[in-house]
Amino acid sequence: MNGQLSTQQGQLDAEIPLRLGTRRSALAMAQSGMVAREVGRLTGREVELVEITTYGDTSREQLAQIGGTGVFVSALRDALLAGRIDFAVHSLKDLPTAAPEGLVLAAVPEREDVRDALVAREGLSLEALIEKCAGRTARIGTGSPRRMAQLNAWAAAQGADVETVPIRGNVDTRINFVHSGELDAVVLAAAGLNRLGRSAEISEHLEPELMLPAPGQGALAIECRADDPELAAALGALDHAPTRAAVVAERALLAALEAGCSAPVAALARVSEENELWLEGVVGSVDGATLLTMSTTGPLATDETAERQARALGHALAARLLDGGAAGLMGERVR
């Protein structure tokens, strides 16, 4: 009898769509749509998107002013904990580093392009844009203190006349600043443009040597409730172990620095074919006058200890950065 009930319950569950919570932006919808298709394929269940508005979507303030950390995430997490959705998809770089009670990071799919991208007038590269603007200041928009710090440092090293202009808005809004002539270029995440099918609008990919990305950039996070182990296990099939290890190291560095996602902090980790984990971190002043750059490597296990090793590597590099004066470059730290 119990076996019959279990079978009937499984059939009923299979007929009930899974509810995937997502922000309303075009990029969030595109990302969530990708995940929904994969989850539907894996589970055989229909997945419906539930659009949720977050504080970060409605506020017109700069991210640095509203704190940045969690402003695109809290409403989705509240909906999860309240049972209004079954799982949520976030841009991983938006996640606060503190683990939420009652939720689990079920999967980190394979990462997209980690690089930042320049979208400039006439499709010019950064160097060509500076040459084209000879005699006047090149105005480049970004909402990220991290990008500002590194772009300003590059400009100072090159003797280039650049003004970094703080901007907000979705991808269309930001790119329209260029089309309207208000700005000469904007800097966006390449992953977002790729996922929106707009990679053809990229004038130049900014390599990590020039601009190290944000911790977690290019990666997605799939969260569900901790009291739903069956769904967590199903979603876990989308997990990509090298990506998870890399972002764990990057986020551990960010957490140990006590810096929010709006701080001028960059980090990038990579896993080699020999299972070595390489991690680089950058902390700078927004004006670019000072950039502190350090890197480290360490072995990475292929078992359940991998995350612990990645976390330890991030903490160790953060300690070195703090010893080198990183705290004084970040302004107010998150506590």
Catalytic site positions? 94
Q: State how far Cα 176 lies from the chain centre.
A: 23
Helix axes 171-179, 26-43, angle to 10 degrees: 140
Three-state DSSP class for residue 150? helix
**What b-and-e string marks burial along 68-84, b requiring 16 or more CB atoms within 10 Å of the CB?**
bbbbbbebbbebbeeee
Q: What whole-number distance in Å separates Cα of residue 47 and Cα of residue 33?
A: 9
User: Are 281 and 316 contacting, i.e. CB atoms less than 8 angstroms apart?
Assistant: no
Question: Which residue(s) pair with 204 in the sheet?
Answer: 118
Q: What whole-number distance in Å separates Cα of residue 75 and Cα of residue 82?
A: 11
C-alpha dihedral sign at 22, 27, 32, 37: positive
Pairing of strands 18-22, 87-91: parallel
Strands (DSSP E) contained in 121-175 are: 138-142, 162-166
Q: What whole-number distance in Å separates Cα of residue 93 and Cα of residue 95?
A: 6
Burial of 43 (0-12, 13-18, 19+ CB in 10 A): middle
